[in-house]
Every structure is written in structure tokens, then in C-alpha cells.
Amino acid sequence: MRRTSVAVAAVAAAVLVMGGGVALAQWDEPVWGGQRKGEGAVVVRDGAPGYESKSSTDVKKTFKRGDAVAGMHKEFIAVTYEFFEENGRVRVVFPKEDSVLMEDAWMDPDDLLTFVYDCCDADCIPVKGSLKRSEWNPCFKEGINKARAQMASSRRDSPPSSNREQGSSSRSSSSSKEKPLTNDAIVAMVKADLGDDLVIAKIQQAPREALDVSPEALVALKGQGVSKAVLDAMIKRAGN
């Protein structure tokens, strides 16, 4: 586990469960010269529920339009700050009120307008350390502001509709206009040093794909620095 000499960073990085809140940490991950990325979102409607688990009907928190959350995906002890859909929900984290800890919940993706943010540190943790309470760091706040501006612009330009319809139409419109995922896009993400976890998540979640997984194409991809884990994810997605 990476050691930190600054006390407030240790508070933000400790893994704890206390009073219903969680503080998140990253285990040692490869860090390249490029800019790492994480995923966050703003809530698109009032009354959006955050559930106790991916299958529970118990509501842990009710969100308001404009509230911010960060994506979270956990594999064993490794944590990445991205959205990964399970049972029709995604896991989100957010600062616990008047606490140094973070809370987590599961939400309907249709209730979220997602964005990508630059990581302020090697671990891509979306909050900054504090001895009094946790709060979003500057990199994540920049993403929040851009997403809220986009949401406000869409609301001005669109005819009146229900908040739920706005969230669903935003996602469906984005999916229909998005180009199919290609080998060139995979190589671009790898060369941008986004990290295998984020690249694999994009392969799994892309609305459409046009991946070439022929032996020749796989050899060419390997020569361009694409890892075996990413190649395996491409083969699995192309075979579905």
C-alpha cells in the first residue's frame, strides 16, 4: 500500500466503515506519463433514489437535481472511480455530511448526467483530504461545473418535459449519436494512458462496437501497446 506523509491525505486515503460512511482508497496502480481520468455525474432530477445495494429496494439517500456523485467500481480490494453497471444500477460515492468519510449508494444510470474528470493525483480520488470534512477536489469540481452548465443549457434549449424524460432522452440521444467503438479508439485510449480498467469499462459499456479481433488485428494491437487484459475484453465483446 502506498504510504503518505501528509496527515490529511492519510485521512482521505484510509479504508474505513464508520457510522454508515466509507472513506475510499486506491492500492498501488501503474501511473504513466499521461493524464489519468475518472468518472463523475450530476443528478438530473429531484427525488432520484440512492439504494442500499445493487438489488435492494431500500432507499439510502434521496438526491436533488444538480447533486454531484463520483463513480465507483470495486474488484476485490482494488477501487477505480468509474461507472460500472450491475443489475441496471451503478455504484456512486459522495461526501458524507459533516464527516471526513464518504458514503456510497446505487443509482439508476438514467438519473445521471455523466462526465470525465482529470485526476488531481495518481490515485484519482475525487475528494481532497481534510481533518474536518470531506469535499470534492478542484479537478472533480471542474467536471461538476461543466456538467451543470451543460444541463442548464439543455434545459433552456429543450421544450418542457419531466425530469425523468430529460435524463432518459439525454442518454438515448447520446447513445444513438455515438460512433461504434473501433480498434483505433482502443489504441487512442491506451496511448492516452487512461489505464486498463477504464478502457475495459468502455469496451463493456459502449452502445455499439465495430471491433476487429482477427489474428492479424490482435497482433497489430499488441504491437501498439494494448495489454492482454484489454485484448481479452475486446474478444469477449466482439463475440457477444
Q: What is the pLDDT of residues 87-102, one digit of tens each?
A: 899 999 998 887 888 8
Alpha helices in 61-195 (DSSP H): 138-157, 163-177, 183-191
Q: What is the structure's pLDDT at 175? A: 47
Find, among 101, 98, 108, 123, the residue nearest to 37 by Cα. 123
Q: What is the structure's pLDDT at 157? A: 58
Structure confidence by residue, pLDDT tens digits, 204-229: 888 888 899 999 999 999 999 999 99
For residue 236, the tally of other CB atoms under 10 A from its CB is: 13
Q: What is the structure's pLDDT at 33? A: 40
Q: What is the structure's pLDDT at 156? A: 61
- pLDDT tens digits in sequence order for the chain, 240 residues long: 333 333 333 334 333 333 344 434 333 333 334 557 889 999 999 999 999 999 999 999 999 999 999 999 888 778 889 999 998 999 999 988 878 888 999 999 999 999 999 888 877 889 886 677 888 989 999 999 998 988 887 766 555 544 444 555 555 444 445 688 899 989 988 888 888 888 898 888 888 888 999 999 999 999 999 999 999 999 998 876
* pTM tops 0.75, yes or no: no
Q: Are 91 and 104 in contact (CB under 8 A)?
A: yes
Q: Are 113 and 150 in contact (CB under 8 A)?
A: yes
Find, among 211, 192, 203, 206, the residue nearest to 230 by Cα. 203
Q: What is the structure's pLDDT at 18? A: 35
